[in-house]
Amino acid sequence: MRVGAVHARVAGQRHTVGLAVVDTATSTCVGHSTWVAPASENTAGQLQELYVRARELLERNDAEVLVTWTTEPAPGGAGRRAQLIDASRAEGTVMAAAGAVATVKQVVKTGNAAVRAVAGNGGGTKESVDAVAASISGLPKDEAVRRAAAAALAWRRRA
């Protein structure tokens, strides 16, 4: 099964989105993209570009499922609410792109807990992502793509 995944994060009014498509039967990353929103572009323009990139990646790699993983707030992280809302917009944009791809039949959500459970190493999120990503061939060193790919494989292993 080919599983697409997205990990969205916002810092300083700029989206950073990792996209990956993982062939879960072979634990191979068959396509990936990192997108950092151009600072000169307004939010609508940023999300429009993200939509196009996500749709092209999912179509080109025949993704059947889209897994979303938005950064979760730290305990007491109320000050990050605006960033989480912006990250959710990016995630929603990728979900809309998936809706336009004929091969995508399901959209699901995962998070830190699922990745940690699959890693089974008792570590934090970064250590767990590293552990799950280590089993996926073809991944770049880019953290956003590694998180997206780890989410895809973690979802499949728990499904």
For residue 43, the domain's CATH number is: 3.30.420.10
- pLDDT attached to residue 111: 86
Split into its structural domains, the chain has a count of 1
Could you read off the pLDDT of 3-35 as tens digits, one per residue? Answer: 999 999 877 667 789 999 999 999 999 999 998
Boundaries of domain holding 61? 2-158
Which positions of the chain have pLDDT values less than 50? none
- Residue 93, CA distances (Å) to 18, 25, 88, 124 in order: 13, 27, 8, 28
- Residue 60, CA distances (Å) to 2, 20, 35, 153 in order: 11, 12, 17, 19
How many C-beta atoms lie closer than 10 Å to residue 52's C-beta?
A: 11
The pTM (predicted TM-score) of the whole model is 0.91
